Amino acid sequence: MSHIDIGKICEGTASRRSFLGISAASALTLGLTACEGGTQPGEDPDGAGSANVWILTGGMWPVISDSVSRWNEENPDQAISVEEFENDAYKERIRTAVGAGQAPTLVLSWGGGTLADYANNDQIIDLSGATGDLEERLLPSVALNGQVNGTTYAVPVNDVQPVVLFYNRDLFAEHGLEVPETYEDMLAVSDEFQRHDVLPFALAGASVWPELKWIQYLTDRIGGPEAFQAVLDGEPDAWSHPAFMAATTRIQELVEAGAFGDNYASVAADQNADLALVHTGRAAMVLWLSSAYATFRNDAPEFTETSLGWTTFPTVDGGEGDAGNIVGNPANVFSVSAAASEREQNAALGWIGERLYDDTQIEEMIAAGAVPPVQGIADRLAESENGEFLSYSYDLASAAPHFQLSWDQALAPGPAQELLTNLSQVFLMQITPEQFVDNMNATL
Amino acid sequence: MARATQRSEVSGRTAGPPFVMAVPALVFFAVFALVPLGGVVVLSFMEWDGLASPQWAGLAKWEQTLADPVTRRAMWLTFVFTTVSYLFQAPVALLLGVFMAGSQRYRALLSVLYFLPLIFSAAAVGITFQSLLDPNFGLSRAFNSDLLGQNWLGNPDLALFVVVFVVAWCFVPLHSLLYQAGVRQIPAALYEAATLDGAGRLAQFAHITLPQLRYTIITSSTLMLVGSLTYFDLIFVLTGGGPGGATRILPLDMYLNGFRSYDMGQASAVAVILVVVGLALGLMLNRLSGASKMESQQEGL
């Protein structure tokens, strides 16, 4: 009978892991919430009252880790310990940790809805006036992202990532086309490229979030940032703002015109299959975070050198939004946990005030091809190895009247998921713009 | 009980090892399965976002869950996924198992190859198939064939069946292995007798192999049905429930509700539904088949 036991183990673990995993996690955190006020992180005998921070792996995070190490060398009595997490693992872990009063001293988040949740539950502290001169040095459009109802609860930590329209210069030259500047241009260029068997826009629809960039830019160009601000303010029927209807209608117009081809819903962003379409000359344009530049440089250095172009999102005729507005990821942000002891909080605030975006960090970030959200570094960026593109993103971010955080981060988690589901259905032509508006109004 | 004791005095074996030996396993089971299960049942009556303290919501959470169109659709998709998976996997696994049971060399070699998918991790299989099925850079490009360049995972009408296929690719080897072992246990004497009586290959399969495999079929079916009912990891990596919710079966719905929307109450309610349906299904199969009696099929041999 041993073969049956093997069977149970092999298939059983895979399937059982899902529901037992979730139940174990819930029950565990339920237990932890119950003993809130028990062991605080600071009283842990091993931690001996030292501050700690959880950061992510990859990207600009080694730079942050270096910065903390430098702080620790100079301030051994206020040392901050660093732990690294993979992105998804972090997101799942941090929320339960914060909810259970077991958060690290510095709480990393993406701003928006999650930050507001933390602030409203008094799980992070008010940082107004506590971070030295940092606030004056930051780009205003990025610093805003750390505020909840006008109070500063978080400071940015890494690089600015506006969404820009990347394009393949060779393809435009080959077919004698101009880079689109208006929505009408986009439709016209789409037609032309399709006649030459070139995919106009690469889109990783399987990952859904790249579709957000489209609705965000279209809505902003048509109705300005006020439309989505009303949603964030929770005004009743805020999604009925005409800009949302107009944006989703145009999305479906683009889909029907074949601007994204037929197979966009099968393309996933995880392995950069959408960017690969552009640098292999099969697609003409892609709307992506500025971090795509690093991927292009890595995967196709020659193409990046000679043929990669970038521009801002086209305008929409009669639209009210400022053409300088951008969407994207202003930066990740750090908050200070309210559950930490005063000693730990002081260590964290000390590091933020003295070390965050100091000269060394700015230098390391620029060398790594990232743009720190700090004022007055235009010259340093221009002189760097990737000067042309870095200066472009920097100018875009510093001149932007409004920098819209990704909607899925800006909204509370529940509505954010509804948005992603409904948006993918808009792109699949499964629901009409009217249904999109109704479904989203129901989440307010 | 009395008879068992009596017999154990005679043979000294049938009563089995003392109960104490089961205690560690039972404690383990209670701590890591029953206690969390209780926690989930309690949570399913609560409103909890993972941050603030849980609030008692009573039946409201269950009403919300059962009225949610997404969860309702997930129930239907789970039913379709389980049924189609079973109808696809069971015959393939049975035939492959019978084939693998033959003693020829090439069959042994093929068996080893068939077995391979079983040892791959679900995440790796998911990422690999995602790349293979990529309409631009996947199989279609390798073989330069437009036929393979379909919108496999992006077409809402197709995606669920593609997922069924990939999941079957992973699990058919396991079930074939069960059947292979089952077939090899059938006494050769039965086939010899049948051959003497003039039974052909098909008749032998229908009248000897299938009936003799009865318990293997039940075991395999239980694993298949309950397994697909609660299957999660591969689908999560492959489609994440998309496109437009076309592959969002209940286990995914539970996860996304819990760890994306942070609605732990609704996620727990879905978890409870899964546990109840899974247990009921397992129990029902056991009852229907009379497997609990487990009488021998080989009396007189």
**Tokens for A408?**
């899925």
pLDDT for residue A152: 92
* Pairwise CB contact (< 8 Å): A20 & B36: yes
Is B156 at the interface with chain A, CB within 8 A? yes
pLDDT > 50? residue B4? no
Q: Averaged over A93-100, what is the pLDDT? A: 87
> Would strands A308-311 and B46-47 be described as parallel, antiparallel, or unpaired?
unpaired
- Residue from the list A10, A264, A270 with its beta carbon closest to the beta carbon of B118: A10
Inter-chain contact B220–A7, Cβ cutoff 8 Å?
Answer: yes
* CB neighbours of residue A131 within 10 Å: 21
Q: Name the residue facing B51 among A26, A98, A273 (closest C-beta).
A: A98
More confident site: A38 or B200: B200
pLDDT for the residue A24: 39
Which chain A residue shows the shortest CA-CA distance from B234?
A14
CA distance A265 to chain B (A): 4
Whether A265 and B243 lie within 8 Å, measured CB to CB = yes
Whether the CB-CB separation of B209 and B98 falls below 8 Å is answered with yes
| % of chain A at pLDDT higher than 70 | 89
pLDDT at A29 over 70: no
Q: Could you give the CA distance from residue A356 to residue A361 in angstroms, rounded to a whole number? A: 7
* Residue B10, pLDDT above cutoff 60: no
From B295's Cα to the closest Cα of chain A, the distance in A is 15
Q: What share of chain B is helix, strand, coil (3-state, %, to 5)?
A: 70, 0, 30
Q: Residue A156 above 60 pLDDT?
A: yes
Res A5: pLDDT: 36
- Using CB atoms and an 8 Å cut-off, which of residues 392-411 of chain A contact chain B? none
Considering only CB atoms, which chain A residues are within 8 Å of B243? 205-206, 265, 424, 428
CB contact (8 A) between residue B149 and residue A4: no
Q: Give the relative orientation of helices B105-115 and B69-100 as an angle to the nearest 10 degrees.
A: 160
With a CB-CB cutoff of 8 Å, which residues 7-36 of chain B face chain A? Answer: 32-33, 35-36
B269 touches chain A (CB under 8 A): no
Cβ-in-10-Å burial (0-12, 13-18, 19+) of B198 comes to exposed
Judged by a CB distance cut-off of 8 A, whether residue B262 touches chain A is yes
The band of B113, judged by pLDDT with boundaries at 50, 70 and 90, is: confident
Distance separating alpha carbons of residues A166 and A173, to the nearest angstrom: 15
Number of C-alpha atoms within 13 angstroms, CB side, residue B94? 22
How far, in Å, CA of B152 to CA of B134, rounded? 8
The pLDDT value given to residue B292: 55
B271 lies within 8 A of chain A by CB? yes
CB contact under 8 A, A18 and B219: no
Would the CB atoms of A19 and B220 count as touching at under 8 Å? no
A and B: number of Cβ contacts within 8 A: 186
Strands A333-336 and A199-202: unpaired
A window 12-71, beta carbon within 8 A of B: 12, 14-20, 22-24, 26-30, 33
Q: pLDDT category, B110, cuts 50, 70, 90? A: confident
B232 with A264: Cβ contact below 8 A: no
Average pLDDT, chain A: 85
**Smallest Cα–Cα separation from A313: which of A141, A161, A163?**
A163
A30: chain B residues, CB-CB within 8 Å: 39, 42-43, 54
| Helices A413-427 and A209-223, axial angle in degrees (round to 10) | 90
Contact flag B242-A121 (C-beta cutoff 8 Å): no
- A301 burial type by CB count under 10 A (0-12 exposed, 13-18 middle, 19+ buried): exposed
B32/A24 CB distance under 8 A? yes
Are A394 and A377 contacting, i.e. CB atoms less than 8 angstroms apart?
Answer: yes
**Are the beta carbons of B227 and A11 separated by less than 8 Å?**
yes
Confidence of residue A60 (pLDDT cuts 50, 70, 90): confident
A413 vs B262: CB contact, 8 Å cut-off?
yes
The Cα of B197 is separated from the nearest Cα of chain A by a number of Å equal to: 32
Outline where B105-232 has alpha helix (H): 105-115, 122-132, 139-142, 159-184, 188-196, 201-204, 210-212, 214-229
Looking at the complex, report in whole angstroms how far the Cα of residue A104 sits from the nearest Cα belonging to chain B: 15
Structure-token pair, residue B65: 């869950």
The one-character DSSP state at B240 is T
Q: Inform me whether the C-beta atom of residue A205 falls under 8 Å from chain B C-beta atoms.
A: yes
DSSP helix/strand/coil, A257: coil
- The confidence score (pLDDT) of residue A15 equals 39
Q: How many CB atoms lie within 10 A of CB A162?
A: 23
Query: So what's the pLDDT on residue A46?
Result: 42
Interface touch B244/A95, C-beta < 8 Å: no
| Least confident piece of the model among A42-51, A145-154, A334-343, B68-77 | A42-51
Predicted confidence band of residue B107 (pLDDT cuts 50, 70, 90): confident
Reply yes or no on whether the pLDDT at B16 is more than 80: no
pLDDT of A44 above 80: no
A304-347 confidence digits (pLDDT tens):
999 999 999 999 998 999 999 999 988 889 999 999 998 999 99
Instruction: Assess whether pLDDT exceeds 70 at residue A160.
Output: yes
Decide: A380 and A365 in contact? Cβ < 8 Å.
no
Phi-psi bin for A37: left (phi > 0), alpha (psi -120 to 50), beta? Answer: left
Interface of A with B in 103-122 (CB under 8 A): 117-118, 121
Q: Judge: B255–A22 Cβ closer than 8 Å, yes or no.
A: yes
Closest A-chain CA to B260: A413
Q: Are the Cβ atoms of B264 and A26 closer than 8 angstroms?
A: yes
- The confidence score (pLDDT) of residue B49 equals 85
Q: How confident is the model at residue B301 (pLDDT cuts 50, 70, 90)?
A: low
Q: Do A282 and B136 touch (CB under 8 A)?
A: yes
Task: Return the residue in A5, A19, A429 with the most chain B beta carbons within 10 A, the one to mutate for interface testing.
Answer: A19
Handedness of CA B281, B284, B289, B293 (dihedral sign): positive
Q: Is B299's pLDDT higher than 70?
A: no
Where does the pLDDT of residue B236 fall: very low under 50, low under 70, confident under 90, or very high at 90 and above? very high
Are B82 and B228 a contacting pair, CB within 8 Å? yes
pLDDT digits (tens, 9 = 90+) for B72-83: 999 999 999 999
Q: Does B207 or B147 have the greater pLDDT score?
A: B207
Put simply, the answer to whether A425 touches B244 (Cβ < 8 Å) is yes
Report the residue from B149, B242, B255 with minimal CB separation from A18.
Answer: B255
pTM for the complete prediction? Answer: 0.83
Q: Are B233 and A99 in contact (CB < 8 Å)?
A: no
DSSP string covering A412-424: -HHHHHHHHHHHH
Are A142 and A397 spatial neighbours (Cβ–Cβ below 8 Å)?
yes
> What span, in angstroms and rounded, lies between the C-alpha atoms of A294 and A124?
33
Q: Identify all chain A residues contacting B178, using CB atoms and an 8 Å cutoff.
A: 3-4, 7
> Between chains, do B251 and A270 touch, taking CB under 8 Å as contact?
no
Q: What mean pLDDT comes out for the span B169-191?
A: 91
pLDDT for A9 beyond 60: no
Does residue A411 or residue A368 have the better pLDDT? A411
Radius of gyration in angstroms for the set of CA atoms belonging to chain A, rounded to a whole number: 23
Contact across the interface for B243 and A17, Cβ inside 8 Å: no
pLDDT exceeds 50 at position A49: yes
Q: Is A18 in contact with B232 (Cβ distance < 8 A)? A: yes
Token pair, residue B152, equals 């496999």
**Mean pLDDT for the stretch of residues B124-134:** 90
Residue with tokens 């992510």: A56
How confident is the model at residue B145, as a pLDDT? 78
Q: Could you give all domains of chain B from N- to C-terminal order, each with its CATH number?
A: 57-289 (1.10.3720.10)
**pLDDT reading at A404 higher than 70:** yes
Supply the ipTM of this predicted assembly: 0.82
Taking 80 as the threshold, does the pLDDT of residue A26 lie above it? Answer: no
Give the Å distances, CA to CA, from B200 to B186, B194, B213. Answer: 17, 8, 19
Angle at B293 between CA B287 and CA B294, to 5 degrees: 110
CA dihedral (A327, A328, A330, A332) positive or negative: positive
Helix H or strand E segment including A113: helix A112-120
Q: Of A30, A92, A271, which has the smallest distance from its Cβ to B131's Cβ?
A: A271
Report all structural domains of chain A as residue ranges with CATH numbers, in order of start: 44-159+331-375 (3.40.190.10), 161-328+405-441 (3.40.190.10)
pLDDT of amino acid A45: 39
- How far is residue A439's CA from residue A414's CA, in Å, rounded to a whole number? 13
State the helix-helix crossing angle for B35-43 and A2-34, rounded to 10 degrees: 50
The pLDDT of residue A259 is above 90: yes
pLDDT digits (tens, 9 = 90+) for A161-208: 999 999 999 999 999 999 999 999 999 999 999 999 999 999 999 989
Flag whether residue A442 sits within 8 Å of chain B, measured between CB atoms.
Answer: no
> Could you tell me if A301 lies within 8 Å of chain B, comparing CB atoms?
no
- Most A CBs within 10 Å, among B51, B128, B166, to test the A interface: B51
**How large is the C-alpha radius of gyration of chain B?**
24
* Closest Cβ opposite residue B244 in set A117, A416, A430: A430
Nearest Cα residue in chain A from B245:
A421
Residue A112 has pLDDT above 50, yes or no: yes
CB of A424 within 8 Å of a chain B CB? The answer is yes
How many CB atoms are closer than 10 A to CB B5? 11
Rounded Cα distance, A239 and A436, in Å: 9
